[in-house]
Structure 1
Amino acid sequence: MSAVAAPAAVMLPAPRRAVDDADAVAVLPELWVPEASQWLSSSAGRMALEGYSWMQAVHWVAGSGLYQPRRHRSSGLRSFNATTVFIAQLLAELNPCFPGIEYLMRRTRLSKRIVNYHLAALRETGLLAYISKGTRVRGARAEASEFARMIPVEFDVALGIRTVLRDEAAPAYTRAVTGIAEAGRELMAKLGRKASRKLRRPRPKAPSKALLAGARAGADGVAGTAVSAGSRCTPMGGGAVGSSTAGITSLPPESKLASGESKLATRRKSKAKAAGRGSSGRQKLNAIGRRYQLGRELTEQVEWLRGCSVPRIAWVAQNVADAGWTATEVLAWLHLRGTAEKVYRGSGLLAVLLANAENVLDSPAKRADAVAQWRGAQEAQRRHDIEKVRAGRERYEGDWHLPESCAVHSEMDSAVAQLRSASRAVVQDLVDDAEGAGVTSYEVDDQELADIRAAAQAGLETGDTTLINDTVHGCGLEEAVRVYGEDLIRRAHQLDRFRRSSLSTYSYGA
């Protein structure tokens, strides 16, 4: 029984001997609500209309001593304590009563397991009832439970509270209060004063100095003996100490002075080291913890293991986890072994692939070599994917590409040859006609050739290759090289290829 709720226990009114007294208060049996009756539809209590009246019932349960959970189960709380009352006060502030476990953990600074113990105590005393139970589905968002604040029927019986169901069609938990016995009025007033006060978060009890001194003396192998107030520590007083400690007093070495660390920090480091923690204060994982850590990492990084149970994957990978493998090394081993195209059961496939893996790669050097091969294969695959995407984009987003059929290639080559022969015949006819008419051929001098090249150079500087391309298509590549030179022709081809690429955006002005 807690110190907060102890005064309420002695305020339970004793039963009157008169049988015909309607205001008599009965002695109550043990307070316990089974799990099947912890729902609103099956609860025997009545719903509290507001938090004040509900906190009156909470303080009464805390001080009554009727809740003895150890008679029904071996785990959980031993009694209804001050922390349970503080959590009930937090629940009284919520409307609707829809608390999250993380919220209660943050307000109380307790672990999830302890918070669930206190919520179970409130349900087992009839103070809380489920409206809807929260869900904890892996891969989905967790939903909190919604509770109804209830006043147990034992509270009404103990204080002589009379209730009535105003609507016969309404459920029983909607009963309303119509009066109270004279014997319970004083206790109700005291419970009201308790309910109106706000409790602070209970602090954990620190061990007394005498216990710490005794434990330290026991650890040193010396029996701890309490010294009375009248005894002295010096021989002058004639106390129980027979020898002076002045002869064994020594100053601390200079290495201990001005170290920059306080005694508290040094004590914390020593405690963390004794508890198996590292310099960061985090507890080191044991074999089971390493298995679960590896299983969790594999379910996150391996695509065909997503959605699998972490405990099952930890059990499958227990051999490699005990051998000190990391998730990266397991991925490298899976790359060397290869996987199936269609996976029906991820844990079964993983068990087959990891068979005898710890014996094949039995040294860190072998595992590092496997990781290097895996990373090299990943880089090669990445480059291959980039080239494939680039080729696809250039193929489907370019201006025009040669067909892949060899028959079409041959037809195109024959058609181009016919066009070239026809154009040469027309040019030869024009030359013959000009010679027959006495017209001399026009020769391009060096100045005009330089002007043409300057115009082509200016066009290339702005990204325009029209002049060179027209010359190539009209007169052929040999004549274009003679007029513009190989350098300008090569630059024009580079600009055209660069413009057709899907990985670049290039535009030129008029």
Structure 2
Amino acid sequence: MGDSRQKSAPKQGTQCPPIATACQWLSTTTGRIASDGHTWMTAVHWAADPEEKRYIPTSTHGPRGMNATTLLIAQECANLKECRPGIEYLVRKLRISERTVEYHLGMLREAGLLVYRTKGGRVAQGRDEASVYERVVPLAFDEEHGIRTIGEGVHRRPVGAADTARKALGNLARKAARKVRRPRRRTPVSGQGRCTLMEGGSTGTSSAGGSIPPSETKLASGHSSHPTPKKAHRGPQKLNKVGRRHQLARQLIDNVPWLSRASAPRIAWIARHCADAGWQWQEVQAAAEEAGPIDGMDSRRPSGLLAYRLKGVHELYASTKARHLMLTAWEDSRLRERIRHQGWDGPAAVIPGQATDTAAAAMDDIRAARQTQAVSAADLAGATEHPQGDTNIEALTRAEVLEHRAFAAQDPTYVRNLLNGLGDRDTRRLLTNKLVDQALVLLRLNTTELSPAF
């Protein structure tokens, strides 16, 4: 590669023209890549000089030019090994708004100081990818200071400068070496003057002697307003991450029997992953008791048992749908256990020859219980024997309807017989959807016993 030395006489007051959007890429820029962050900051201070006003933004909104915030953002970019300043990182580091960061990064690109190597955007799973920049020294900077370069394209490197520009380059280098700090606030936070007079001394006169007294009409009026009125709090405050953890811990201690003696801070720390993922206390209990029921008398250390049972469950049930299915399965298992303790679970298998006798005996028991509860024999017979449409459930009194529902809540086979006699529509009108669905679940769980009776 030949020596393509470029030399131009220094020009005073050279402007830094705005760079079009199409030329803000590494492949289309006319500048050269800065060798280090200090060299790049000299070009940034040159373009941001408030007296020369070399760069004027083309946007009609936002800052009217480069200022101290631009230098702060450029300083963070200069300290990065890979110039990949994320918007969230700059917002958190400099404590400024996201819109401000976007404005000043746009000005650095438009001034030819930053160019895209790769432009960021949304990638898989809705995550934002930060843009990768290259720190570039504009061509106008080299022309003004008579900098000679060798090489081609963006990989040119300086080999000298004009003698008349050495003083200006030294001043820029000293500015680049100093750390840029946030400018001090000029006005007080409250926006009001000082409360006490900065006067007085050893003189015998009062410092308030020259003050103007208030008007007589404003004395004791009772309508004075505070200069900084307090803002009324509207609604409850939103819980942060720690508050949500302690809320979940308190709910677990109040509702789960075997956790009633546990410590709330310890439970909050154990269930922290579940609380951060938005779990409810029912889902935490279901995940802990999924391996088997827990007796409060047997758990000497409930927090340790909970930590053992919850290990890795927030990763196993990461989605809301998976947690719902897990909670439904746990509720069904508890319902089946309650049915088994109440005696609904019969033998594991029923002899086929005894199916008819078993069904008939069940019907006899139902009829006897109905008579014991003083339910109308005609209505009950019609509800269980007549086909759909022959029974008028509107003729039943409220007391009879309540007796039907109370008996259906105790015996799922009674609901099954009503479904066969009245049909689904009238049965649900009589017993409510909740009782019918609950009975169907019980019958489905005990299908081994009850299937011959269908």
Common fold: TM-score over 0.5: no
Give the alignment's TM-score, normalised by structure 1.
0.40
TM-score (norm 2): 0.45
Which one has the largest radius of gyration?
Answer: 1
Higher relative contact order (CA 8 A, sep 6+): 2
